[in-house]
């Protein structure tokens, strides 16, 4: 069950309209590393998780990502604060004028529609957690790029908040991974002697390169 609270997760505001930047911010609404992708990924992964604590973690973060999506959409809406007029906009803004009527849409900064192909679900908790850690890290990178490309202090406050929440999610997923790292794909398939080999394909090799053997455990399979 979901319940919509009309109060935003964190208040958003802008110092003034900036439709050009609104196009850039669309990346975090409907892009491959955006908020909708994160919400759908974590929610989809949660369906088969047996550990109730980790299942709740995935659903809680998914719900928060939906609230982040609402914040991003409202910021885009404020940045688009002008009348629909396709003749008065740059090429990059045409999509929002002629298709969306300035409504924030499920598209990325290039105008491509959001797709379920962005979502990674393997059914293996270790693999999914590592994927989520990487997803949060990529989202942070995009927000950092966006932060550096605008002078609007109020928009930067929103992005700063979202950046910190992405880091919080990253830490939560890392903690969950530490709890289950000896399960699933990390347990079912061990390592052989081949895992100790390093093939030096670079010529000339960096001076002083050293790859010591790693102490690995033999394969362990459930019968």
CATH number at residue 148: 1.20.1260.10
**Residue 215 lies inside a defined structural domain of this protein:** no
The response to whether 82 counts as a known ligand-binding position is: no
**Residue 77 lies inside a defined structural domain of this protein:** yes
Q: Which two tokens stand for residue 182?
A: 């000896």
The response to whether 5 counts as a known ligand-binding position is: no
**Residue 2 lies inside a defined structural domain of this protein:** no
The response to whether 10 counts as a known ligand-binding position is: no
**Residue 42 lies inside a defined structural domain of this protein:** yes
**Residue 189 lies inside a defined structural domain of this protein:** no
The response to whether 15 counts as a known ligand-binding position is: no
What are phi and psi for residue 56, nearest 5 degrees? Answer: -60, -40
Nearest to 33 by CA among 172, 210, 169: 169
The response to whether 136 counts as a known ligand-binding position is: yes
The response to whether 4 counts as a known ligand-binding position is: no
Q: Tell me: pLDDT of 218 over 60.
A: no
Q: Report, in angstroms and rounded to the nearest whole number, the Rg of the chain calculated over CA atoms.
A: 22
What mean pLDDT is reported for the chain?
86
Average pLDDT over residues 127-139: 96
Contact between 139 and 72 (Cβ < 8 Å): no
**Residue 214 lies inside a defined structural domain of this protein:** no
The DSSP 8-state label assigned to residue 37 in this structure reads H
**Residue 8 lies inside a defined structural domain of this protein:** no
**Domain count along the chain:** 1
Question: pLDDT, tens digit, for every residue of 175-217?
Answer: 999 998 877 776 655 566 666 666 767 767 665 555 555 555 5
Residue range of the domain that includes 159: 19-180
**Residue 218 lies inside a defined structural domain of this protein:** no
Q: Tell me: pLDDT of 108 over 60.
A: yes
């Amino acid at each position: 069950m979901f319940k919509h609270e009309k109060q935003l997760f964190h208040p958003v505001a802008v110092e003034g309209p900036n439709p050009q930047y609104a196009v850039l911010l669309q990346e975090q609404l409907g892009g491959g590393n955006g908020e909708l992708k994160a919400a759908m990924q974590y929610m989809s992964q949660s369906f088969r998780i047996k550990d109730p604590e980790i299942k709740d973690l995935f659903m809680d973060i998914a719900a928060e990502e939906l609230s982040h999506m609402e914040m991003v959409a409202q910021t885009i809406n404020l940045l688009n604060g002008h009348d629909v007029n396709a003749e008065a906009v740059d090429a990059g803004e045409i999509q929002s004028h002629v298709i969306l009527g300035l409504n924030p849409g499920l598209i990325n900064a290039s105008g491509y529609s959001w797709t379920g192909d962005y979502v990674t679900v393997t059914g293996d908790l270790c693999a999914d957690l590592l994927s989520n850690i990487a997803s949060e890290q990529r989202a942070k990178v995009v927000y950092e790029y966006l932060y550096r490309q605008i002078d609007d202090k109020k928009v930067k406050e929103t992005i700063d908040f979202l950046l910190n929440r992405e880091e919080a999610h990253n830490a939560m997923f890392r903690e969950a991974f530490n709890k289950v790292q000896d399960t699933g794909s990390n347990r079912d398939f061990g390592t052989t002697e081949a895992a100790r080999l390093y093939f030096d394909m670079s010529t000339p090799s960096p001076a002083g390169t050293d790859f010591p053997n790693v102490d690995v455990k033999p394969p362990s399979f459930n019968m």
